[in-house]
Amino acid sequence: MTNEPQEKTTGASPLSAEASTPARLYGALGDGKDHFKVDQTNAAALDEILPGMRLIVPDNRACLRRMVATAADLGIRQYIDLGSGLPDQPPNLHEVAQRTVKDARFIYVDNDPMVCTHGRALLQGGGVTMIEADARDIDALYRTYELLSVIETGRPVCVVLGAILHFFTDDEVKQVMEALDDFLAPGSLLLVTHATSDQPHYQPEQVQAARLAYEEQTGARLYLRSVQQIADLVLPGCVPLRPGLVTTAAWHPDYEYGPAQIPPAPYFMAVAAQVRHDVENRQYFLLDAARKAEQ
Ligand SMILES: C[S@@+](CC[C@H](N)C(=O)[O-])C[C@H]1O[C@@H](n2cnc3c(N)ncnc32)[C@H](O)[C@@H]1O
């Protein structure tokens, strides 16, 4: 990544009462508490353009909880959540991890100062750190004292990329994936959810209208990608766990924190994957078998 200042991904000012930010609007679409009236108005408008839109947030969060619970079951003790969002829809992901791995260390990263202020007030301590940083610059993040004082770089890390890569250009996504591949130790896991333009319950024009409205409401660019485009961008450096790249509701719906989605509703795509240099380590592919054997 270059040291040039990057174009903002989050658009509006975090404290603007006139425009939404991705974090506040996401909270307003879900069960969040820390948003403004404009966010409620915008969430309602989006739900009118794409009926069922509000379900996307609880569905995505439930999927991320199932993914993090899985990473904790695998014994991963350190987590970095890139684009963590407002911590106002409990249980937060560190709580999910720490249910299984009591001393799990969790780093939340966001470039929205309002998210970071709330995060620091609510989350600090107990193995949790909040860092204000641009997730597109993994090199810089990995040079911060806050990260290096928490993360043991030689050990596996679970990196959460929940509903953030769709704010990045193709080149930015590739750079993030390559940088993570460089930094992460064998056994590390990537958890990705991503907005998709492939929405069989809706007309393509409706989906694009919702995207345009979202961009206008937040000032942030939204890169809706087809399932194939997501696979082409995210998977080349990875070995996906079963069931591969699927809708968030279909990612192990039988696990705890089961799906919230009631179709028809728009959805994100989800995949959990190991970074490729660990391709020889097959243990994660045995995950389902091991879980079933335990039951
Ligand atoms: C839609 S919310 C998703 C929140 C959470 N990850 C989830 O999936 O429930 C996206 C978050 O990514 C953050 N974000 C967007 N671009 C970012 C960037 N370049 N660096 C860090 N955070 C970013 C936003 O501020 C927002 O909090």
What local confidence, expressed as pLDDT, does residue 35 receive? 84
| Helix 113-123 / helix 22-29 crossing angle, nearest 10 deg | 60
CA distance 88 to 39: 15
112 lines ligand 1 (CB under 6 A): yes
| Minimum CA distance residue for ligand 1 atom 8 | 162
9 lines ligand 1 (CB under 6 A): yes
93 lines ligand 1 (CB under 6 A): no
What local confidence, expressed as pLDDT, does residue 289 receive? 40
For the CA of 115, the closest atom of ligand 1 is 27
What local confidence, expressed as pLDDT, does residue 99 receive? 95
| Three-class DSSP labels, 193-257 | EEEECCCCCCCHHHHHHHHHHHHHHHCCCCCCECHHHHHHHHCCCEEECCCCCEEHHHCCCCCCC
CA distance 20 to 93: 24
CA–centroid distance, residue 23 to ligand 1 (Å): 6
What local confidence, expressed as pLDDT, does residue 9 receive? 67
| Minimum CA distance residue for ligand 1 atom 9 | 61
| Minimum CA distance residue for ligand 1 atom 23 | 83
What local confidence, expressed as pLDDT, does residue 238 receive? 87
Q: What CATH number does domain 22-294 carry, 3.40.630.10, 3.40.50.150, 3.40.630.30, 3.30.70.1350?
A: 3.40.50.150
CB 79 within 8 A of CB 71: yes
What local confidence, expressed as pLDDT, does residue 206 receive? 96
129 lines ligand 1 (CB under 6 A): no
What local confidence, expressed as pLDDT, does residue 23 receive? 95
CB 213 within 8 A of CB 46: yes
What local confidence, expressed as pLDDT, does residue 89 receive? 84
Q: Which residues pair with 194 in a beta bridge?
A: 269
- 144 closest CA partner among 237, 80, 189, 188: 80
CA–centroid distance, residue 32 to ligand 1 (Å): 14
Mean pLDDT by 10 residues, the chain (295 residues): 55 70 94 86 95 93 96 96 93 96 96 94 87 97 93 94 98 95 92 97 96 96 97 91 94 80 83 74 43 47
- 138 closest CA partner among 164, 113, 163, 102: 164
What local confidence, expressed as pLDDT, does residue 16 receive? 64
CA distance 26 to 100: 27
Radius of gyration of the chain (CA): 18
Per-domain residue ranges of the chain: 22-294
- Spell out a b/e string for 185-224, using b for 16 or more CB atoms within 10 Å of the CB, else e: bebbbbbbbbbbbbbeebeeeebeebbebbeebbbbbbbb
